[in-house]
């Protein structure tokens, strides 16, 4: 028989909930080390991810930081994937909830959506390891903090006059754009962090190469010779807002066409 490593979770205990339990509704196992809690494990994993990135996270290393064996961590989390879902939900907990009050006014609901998406983008850029987690199909979006944000956004859109299905379409569109854009940015900024050069310096050096490469593609060439912002970081911020604005304009136009039709 092959011995299990300390990073291999123990066999699941009987009596679990039917189906595939999430980290938030799975029965907790009995404590083998009373001084260690799930909250403590999540907080230490959060600190490790922010300090060293996703590649550094292992149950063995996390256990060492907590002065506990890796196997004792499985008393509180089923596996590494579950731990990551818990940590990601902590990030979502950093975000203020959108407020539905006054959302009957288009300016108010649009401002609430923009504030929420800008907060989500900023959180992903603060914690770039999330890029490796958000694309996975798993339990990340069953966390109470993420569901709280979703519930609040739906409330904003319903107050604005959208029915629940339309509100869900709006939420999916803006969050899909936000997470996609932020993940690309976070990956780019993480790569930059491994060099000794600033984002502005890299882009200033790269732009002549891009301009030369697009000479046979007139629209791209015009774009890169006339539309590249002088300050790259500010340009990313402005570009994100323009993208959300395009989505919201399209949503309003579609809604008006349906109403008038």
Torsion of CA 64, 65, 69, 74, to 10 degrees: -130
Please check whether residue 205 lies inside any domain of the structure: no
For helices 218-226 and 199-213, give the axis angle rounded to 10 degrees.
150
Angle at 73 between CA 70 and CA 75, to 5 degrees: 130
pLDDT band at 222 (very low <50, low <70, confident <90, very high): very high
Select from 111, 95, 110, 125 the least CA-distant residue to 199. Answer: 125
Of 36, 27, 51, 45, the residue nearest 84 (C-alpha): 45
CA distance 194 to 102: 45
Same domain, 190 and 253: yes
State whether 126 and 30 are in the same domain: no
Residue 141 — very low, low, confident or very high, per pLDDT cuts 50/70/90? confident
Residue 42 domain-assigned (yes or no): yes
Question: Which of 7-16, 137-146, 169-178, 186-195 is the least confident region?
Answer: 7-16
Q: Are residues 123 and 185 in the same domain?
A: yes
How does pLDDT run across 38-64, given as a tens digit for each residue?
999 999 999 999 999 999 999 999 999
Q: Do 187 and 250 lie in a common domain?
A: yes
Question: CATH number, domain at 9?
Answer: 1.10.10.60
- 92, 116, 140: which is the final residue of a domain? 92
> Which residues span the domain enclosing 128?
106-194+229-260
More confident residue, 87 or 257: 87
Tell whether the model's pLDDT for residue 180 goes beyond 90: yes
Minimum mean pLDDT range among 80-89, 138-147, 245-254:
138-147
Express each pLDDT in 25-40 by its tens digit: 666 655 555 578 999 9
Read off the CATH number of the domain in which 236 is found: 1.10.357.10
Contact 66, 40 (CB under 8 A): yes
Q: Are residues 56 and 155 in the same domain?
A: no
pLDDT band at 257; cut points 50, 70, 90: confident
| pLDDT > 90 fraction of the chain, expressed in percent and rounded | 65
User: Does 122 share its domain with 67?
Assistant: no
- Domain annotation covers residue 181: yes
Task: Please indicate, yes or no, if residue 120 is contained in any of the structural domains.
Answer: yes
At 3, is the pLDDT very low, low, confident or very high (cuts 50, 70, 90)? very low
Same domain, 129 and 33: no
Same structural domain, 126 and 245: yes
Distances, alpha carbon 236 to alpha carbons 29, 104, 134, in Å: 46, 30, 21
In this structure, are 142 and 175 located in the same domain? Answer: yes
Number of compact structural domains in the chain:
2
Give 242's pLDDT tier (boundaries 50, 70, 90).
very high
Q: Are residues 168 and 49 in the same domain?
A: no
For a pLDDT cut of 70, what percent of the chain falls above it?
86
> Could you say which of 92, 119, 152 is where a domain stops?
92
User: Is residue 99 a part of any domain in this protein?
Assistant: no
Instruction: Mark which of 92, 123, 139 sits at the end of a domain.
Output: 92
Q: In Å, how far from its chain's centre is CA 154? A: 18
Look at residue 221 and tell me if it is in a domain. no
Helices H, strands E: what count in the chain?
11, 0
Residue 98 lies in a domain: no
- Within 8 A by CB and 6+ apart from 68, the residues are 33, 36
Together in a domain, 161 and 239:
yes
20, 43, 100, 114, 221 from 246: Cα distances, Å: 38, 38, 22, 12, 23
Asked whether residue 202 is assigned to any structural domain, the reply reads no
Residue 2 has pLDDT above 60, yes or no: no
The four Cα atoms 182, 186, 187, 192 give a dihedral, to 10 degrees, of: 140
Do 73 and 165 sit in the same domain of this protein?
Answer: no
pTM for the full model? Answer: 0.82
């Amino acid at each position: 028989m092959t011995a299990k490593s300390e990073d291999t979770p123990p066999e699941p205990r009987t009596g679990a909930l039917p189906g595939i339990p999430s980290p938030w509704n799975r029965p907790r196992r009995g404590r083998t080390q009373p001084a260690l809690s799930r909250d403590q494990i999540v907080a230490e994993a959060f600190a490790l991810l922010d300090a060293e990135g996703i590649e550094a996270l292992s149950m063995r290393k996390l256990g060492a930081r907590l002065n506990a064996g890796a196997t004792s961590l499985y008393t509180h989390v089923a596996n590494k994937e579950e731990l990551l879902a818990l940590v990601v939900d902590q990030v979502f907990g950093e975000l203020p909830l959108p407020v539905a009050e006054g959302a009957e006014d288009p300016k108010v609901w649009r401002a609430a959506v923009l504030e929420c998406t800008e907060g989500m983008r900023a959180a992903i850029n603060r914690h770039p390891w999330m890029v490796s987690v958000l694309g996975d199909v798993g339990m990340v979006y069953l966390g109470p903090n993420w569901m709280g944000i979703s519930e609040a956004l739906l409330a904003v859109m319903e107050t604005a006059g959208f029915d629940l299905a339309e509100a869900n379409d709006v939420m999916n569109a803006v969050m899909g754009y936000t997470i996609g854009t932020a993940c690309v940015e976070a990956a780019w900024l993480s790569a930059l962090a491994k060099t000794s050069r600033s984002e502005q310096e890299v882009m200033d050096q790269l732009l002549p190469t891009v301009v030369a490469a697009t000479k046979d593609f007139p629209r791209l060439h015009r774009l890169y010779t006339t539309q590249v912002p002088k300050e790259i970081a500010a340009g990313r911020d402005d570009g994100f807002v323009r993208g959300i604005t395009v989505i919201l304009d399209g949503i309003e136009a579609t809604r008006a066409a349906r109403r008038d039709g």
